[in-house]
A and B are shown apart, each in its own frame.
Chain A
């Protein structure tokens, strides 16, 4: 586990926000099945109302907005992580059926299903007896 980046990485490539908040790169897993690609992104602090998924031409962008909780009358004594927005973009190939992409958010984890287009799904070719 030590080789992996355990903590949040700031996204410096992203355009700056108007509000003064940092942007982080969510960590993702992507796996492929016969029919779809699945993308899972860790975005603690977001829910279904604060996550945005945008598909512009070939670029899929996931954005999560996190409102830092205002903690009154308390002083911070120790800090290991910072709170901020999430943003990350991926280039999709034409293999993805754009119309059928679906997304869910649960416990701060975004699940995205990217179904493959019919034409690129592997097909079995039946062999006829000659």
Chain B
């Protein structure tokens, strides 16, 4: 399975979204032009600073209770079910575009995470997770004698 390789864009942080978009666009052009490529769900954005990573995902209308966030080492796992609405008798769908069903996604971060201090918020349909870097993995300054 594809996991995002964070090291690739290290040096061009500002260009990353644009490059990724271009890459997707090129893939789309050269693959089956009419067929949309399946993506991983949910889509995520990742930010980093010196001590933590921040992951956001768009998950509209889910029950936060039914969302599982797990961290093992440097792997973040998001799983859950986006609502499954069943219609009563006599009701019919005229259009059905929204995503339904279960999902599970693993994301590899660029450092091991301090699992005890992970914070997650769910607001306005957006999940944001703060993942602090494990102290042992923080870069150490080395003195030159």
Please name the residue on chain B nearest to A73 by beta carbon. Answer: B49
Docked-complex contact B98 and A6, CB < 8 angstroms: no
With contacts A74-B49, A79-B17, A80-B45 taken as known, whether A40 is within 8 angstroms of B126 at the C-beta atoms is no
Residues on A with C-beta less than 8 A from B95 are 28-30
With contacts A40-B98, A45-B125 taken as known, whether A77 is within 8 angstroms of B110 at the C-beta atoms is yes
CB distance from B23 to the nearest CB of A (A): 11
Sorting the interface of chain B by its residue count into under 10, 10 to 19, 20 to 34 or 35 or more gives: 35 or more
CB distance from A50 to the nearest CB of B (A): 9
CA separation between A15 and B67, bound complex, in Å? Answer: 37
Docked-complex contact A80 and B43, CB < 8 angstroms: yes
For chain B, residues 47 to 75, give those with C-beta under 8 angstroms from any C-beta of chain A.
47-49, 53-54, 58-62
Residue A46 interfacial (CB < 8 Å): yes
Docked-complex contact A109 and B99, CB < 8 angstroms: no
Mark contacts of A10-53 with chain B using CB atoms, 8 A cut-off: 1 yes-contact digit, 0 otherwise: 00000000000000000111111110010010111111000000
Docked-complex contact B47 and A29, CB < 8 angstroms: no
Docked-complex contact A29 and B49, CB < 8 angstroms: no
Residues on B with C-beta less than 8 A from A37 are 94
CA separation between A46 and B59, bound complex, in Å? Answer: 12
Please name the residue on chain A nearest to B61 by beta carbon. Answer: A109
Docked-complex contact A32 and B92, CB < 8 angstroms: yes
Docked-complex contact B97 and A28, CB < 8 angstroms: yes
Please name the residue on chain A nearest to B62 by beta carbon. Answer: A107
CA separation between A80 and B91, bound complex, in Å? Answer: 35
Residue B139 interfacial (CB < 8 Å): no
CA separation between A27 and B43, bound complex, in Å? Answer: 15
